[in-house]
Structure 1
């Protein structure tokens, strides 16, 4: 499991990012650091594998935080999230070793792509102590293509997907949440979120994030009519 620390001072954005992280198989959020000094402290003590770092933080920019992380010897990888689109910010982020740079506003698909690409690189470097040039070339230049539509990602099963899909089809609501489907299907909310994320990536579902006056933002899903036929390849 890849342990990820969220560095974000806006509680609502931090919660949304946490939900995004938890919906990607193989990743877990170890918490939120809302201040630069908290990021540095938790990076030193908890040693996360990956830090999701907002470039605008109170008292210190994300680039300055990243620079201090490197100066203190932190080996945590960093994905920067920013509304800044100037070349200097992007160049400095890359020079300091950021593994990705996501520009706000972004869609879940781009966020998910960043995590999955990171997971592939991390797995590549853990598989062997020595590499041939062809291995490195394959890692650096391979195209990031999705798995064939009829294949399920690791950790998902045809049987559970069928249960979740049945619950989705039987819901009488125009849209639904992971909690709705978990209640109707008897599958845990954590597992349901993984299946809903997969179905969204496959084009079977679409989603919107709703912000209420109180409480956490909630993802609401809808069936994409053009994607119904894809389900025949899975179940």
Structure 2
């Protein structure tokens, strides 16, 4: 499993910074490494850090820098650190420039926790894929680049999928399955993570077993009947 992802918050409003800290602490797999109120403080922390954070939560409006000056300094000096913008700035020019700079997401204030959580869970999944594999399939790359946020166009292999199996849900189940590694995942847990029923998740998992992309094992607990868990196919 991945270690906790370290996050640097750059926010001059202490109230918003505290809300951001609380939100981050509520999302599994993340921890706040530091909170900086100015650009100078953020750069001093990063330049002196023994271990850089993996992620920066950045506001556009920082009092001691102009516009996106701090953003571009971060992208130039710390290319290995990812950036999520969280700001009240809605100008198209600003959004376009940060997108060109390679941000993971752009969140407009004020934000509710559900929207915040979706971004951070998506980032965690991306980190998992990029740190546990040496190669990615095209559908995994499409998920990383956001091309399957909406239903994908019909492909030839979509027509060959059995009734009751759609490509988009299948890719989500596959991603959850690969996140589980050797620990495995139950249909109940997979359904909860993807947002489908237990029986639906089981149908997709069994389909992956049938095409040799997953393996099913029985796990015996102290009491009760054995639990069926699914792991990525490794044979």
Under TM normalisation by the shorter chain, which class is it? 0.5 to 0.7
What do the CA deviations read for 1:34-74 (whole angstroms, capped 9, x no partner)?
Answer: 11011112223331100111110112146211100122244
Match of 1:135 in 2: 140
Report the equivalent of 1:45: 48
Q: 2:109 aligns with which of 95, 101, 104?
A: 104
Partner of 1:90: 95
Cα distance in structure 1, aligned partners of 2:148 and 2:46 = 31
| Paired residues, number | 154
2:33 counterpart of 1:33: no
- If asked which structure has higher relative contact order (CA below 8 Å, sep 6+), I would say 1
**1-side partners of 2:105 and 2:61: how far apart?**
16
8 Å CA contact 1:55, 1:80 repeated in 2: yes
* Contact residue 53 and residue 62 of structure 1 kept, 8 A: no
Cα offset for 1:133? 2.9
Q: How far, CA to CA, are the matches of 2:143 and 2:112 in structure 1? A: 28
Contact 1:44 1:74 in 2 (8 A): no
- Corresponding position of 1:15: 18
Given the two structures, how large is their TM-score scaled by the length of structure 1? Answer: 0.58
TM-score normalised according to structure 2 size: 0.58
Root mean square deviation of aligned Cα: 2.9
Structure 2: state its 5+ residue gaps.
151-167, 174-179, 181-191, 196-235
Partner SS, residue 94 of structure 1:
helix
| Residue number in structure 2 paired with 1:78 | 83
1:114 aligns with 2:102: no
| Segment drifting more, 17-26 vs 128-137 | 128-137
